């Protein structure tokens, strides 16, 4: 991404085609109660005007997927609409279906039946004012570091003219933007090795007062103790523009005697469009996740490539 493009998005917002995401409808009288027992946030707050972000966790409290949830009316009745990363379609669909036992709930995979676009920042105003085609609906959602709006419509319907000027973000641009914004993503930062609080999702994706869900006991214990194995941080190189830096690189703390202690690893990397230095996201042991602390990054220990400056996510 160029500096000019980054500044354009920062000032005017962005448009993203998310139609490849996995999508489900939940029908039935028990849909809200059922889904509330599966996710970390309060499904009761999901409306037709506002989407709720949440994680699906396993019995050990670790992430099996992250989702957006909103309410809508599709066909002849009310539904909950859920969307997730494209490669979660099969595993997360099976996971959600597994716990429907005696509930009045039907889970329908509608991935191929609905298109989904998202506008954030200044671009969101256009979505709010746009006349909707037959069967379409919109809802507010915070996805990429700024307030935004989702626009949903059936694939079979006539889509509105969204990207006539070709201004939507490419996959590469979106990846750079979300890394610079410190947004965790499945499976890089969110996966079965991670607790949601480690990824900084306490405020955005968790409700500790809503009641029981799978993994809730362990996550409540983490909140009470304040202790986590690691924390997600943003990483910025310390002045070496050409140093190799990629996902999987190890992070080290250099002790006073010069020896190195492994304290974390890098999960995602990009080059910042404005200053040109490598940036990234990574997990670091809690004791070393402080503002502007310096760590050493290495592609292949013990060779040290450059220092990184931790910026809290």
Distance of CA 62 to the CA centre of its chain: 15
Q: Could you read off the pLDDT of 27-69 as tens digits, one per residue?
A: 999 999 999 999 999 999 999 999 999 999 999 999 999 999 9
Domains and CATH numbers, the chain: 3-181 (3.30.1360.120), 231-312 (2.40.30.110)
Sign of the C-alpha dihedral computed for residues 236, 239, 245 and 248 taken in this order: negative
The pTM of this model reads 0.94
d(CA 294, CA 258): 14
Task: Give the burial class of 19: count Cβ atoms within 10 A of its Cβ; 0-12 exposed, 13-18 middle, 19 or more buried.
Answer: middle
In the prediction, which pLDDT does 74 show? 86
Say what the pLDDT of residue 76 is. 81
Q: 3-class DSSP state for residue 243?
A: coil
Residue carrying structure tokens 């503002």: 291
* Most confidently modeled range among 134-138, 162-166, 200-204: 200-204
pLDDT the model gives residue 132: 85
Band (pLDDT 50/70/90 cuts) for residue 239 is: confident
Provide the angle, in degrees to the nearest 10, between the axes of the packed helices 3-12 and 171-181: 70
As a whole number, mean pLDDT of residues 5-17 equals 94
User: How high is the mean pLDDT of the chain?
Assistant: 92
Provide the pLDDT for residue 37.
97
List all residues 6 or more positions away from 95 whose beta carbon is below 8 Å from its beta carbon: 56, 64, 65
What pLDDT score was predicted for residue 292? 86
Asked if residue 147 has pLDDT above 60, the reply is yes
Residue 301's pLDDT band, with cuts at 50, 70 and 90, is: low
């Amino acid at each position: 991404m160029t500096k000019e493009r980054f500044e354009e998005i920062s000032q005017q917002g962005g448009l993203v085609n998310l139609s490849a995401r996995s999508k489900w409808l939940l029908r039935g009288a028990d849909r809200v109660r059922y889904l509330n027992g599966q996710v970390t946030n309060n499904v009761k707050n999901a409306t037709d005007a506002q989407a709720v972000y949440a994680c699906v966790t396993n019995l050990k409290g670790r992430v099996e997927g992250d989702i957006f949830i909103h309410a809508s009316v599709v066909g002849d009745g009310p539904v909950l609409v859920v969307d997730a990363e494209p490669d979660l379609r099969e595993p997360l669909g099976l996971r959600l279906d597994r716990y429907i036992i005696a509930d009045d709930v039907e889970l329908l995979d509608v991935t191929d039946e609905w298109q989904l676009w998202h506008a954030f920042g200044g671009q969101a105003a256009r979505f709010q004012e746009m006349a909707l085609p037959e069967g379409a609906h919109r809802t507010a959602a915070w996805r990429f570091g700024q307030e935004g709006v989702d626009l949903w419509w059936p694939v079979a319907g006539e889509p509105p003219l969204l990207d006539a000027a070709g201004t939507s973000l490419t996959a590469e641009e979106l990846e750079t933007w979300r890394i610079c914004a410190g947004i965790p993503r499945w499976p890089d930062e969110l996966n079965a090795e991670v607790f949601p609080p480690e990824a900084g999702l306490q405020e955005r994706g968790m409700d500790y007062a809503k009641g029981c869900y799978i993994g809730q006991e362990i996550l409540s214990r983490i909140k009470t103790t304040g202790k986590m194995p690691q924390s997600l941080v943003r990483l910025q190189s310390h002045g070496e523009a050409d140093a190799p830096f990629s996902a999987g690189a190890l992070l080290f703390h250099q002790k006073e005697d010069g020896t190195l202690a492994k304290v974390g690893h890098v999960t995602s990397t990009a080059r910042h469009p404005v200053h040109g230095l490598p940036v990234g996201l990574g997990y670091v042991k809690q004791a070393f996740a402080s503002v502007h602390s310096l760590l050493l990054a290495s592609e292949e220990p013990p060779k040290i490539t450059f220092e990184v400056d931790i910026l809290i996510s």
